[in-house]
Structure 1
Amino acid sequence: MDIGEFATDVRRRVQEARQALLVAESESDFYAVDVRTGELNSLLRMAAENDVTIEPAPADRQSTKG
C-alpha cells in the first residue's frame, strides 16, 4: 500500500467512525459512543502521526463559523 492508498483508507475509516458515532449518539447507546469515540480518536491520532490531513467533521466546521 502506498501513502496515497494509506491516506485514502484512513480518511474513509474516519468518515465511517464519525458516522457510527452519530448513530450511537442518536440511539443513546452510551457504550457504543465510548467505543466509537475511542476508535475515532485513535484514527485521528494515526492520521496526525502520518501527516494525513483530515477534514473537520461537519459539526466542527459549524462551530468555527461565526
Structure 2
Amino acid sequence: MEAGEFATDLRRRVHEARQALRVAESESDFYAVDVRTGELNSLLRMAAENGVTIEPAATDRGPTEA
C-alpha cells in the first residue's frame, strides 16, 4: 500500500469509527462506546505516529484524499 493509500484508508477508518461511536452513544450502549472509543483512539494514535492529518470530529465530513 502506498503512502497516499495508507492515509486515505486511515482517514476512512477514523470516519467509520466516529460514526460507530455516535451510534453507540445514541443507543446508550456503554460497552460499544468503550470499544469504539478504544478503536478511535488507536486509529488517531496511528495517524499521529505516521504524520497523517485527521480533521477534528466537529468538522468530520468523511475521508479525503491525501
TM-score category of the 2 structures, normalised to the smaller one: 0.7 to 0.9
1:58 Cα offset (Å): 1.3
Supply the RMSD in Å over aligned alpha carbons: 0.9
Which letter maps to 2:36?
R
- Structure 1 unaligned regions, length at least 5: 60-66
> Normalising by structure 2, what TM-score?
0.88
Shift in Å at residue 7 of structure 1?
0.1
TM-score normalized with structure 1 length: 0.88
* CA distance in structure 1 between the partners assigned to 2:27 and 2:12 by the alignment: 23
Unaligned runs of 5+ in 2: 60-66
List structure 1 segments (4+ residues) > 4 angstroms apart after TM superposition: none
- Corresponding residue number in structure 2 for 1:41: 41
Using CA pairs under 8 Å that are at least 6 residues apart, name the structure with larger relative contact order, 1 or 2.
Answer: 2
- 2:17 and 2:51 map into 1 onto residues whose CA distance is 19
Higher helix fraction: Structure 1 or Structure 2? 1
Number of equivalences: 59
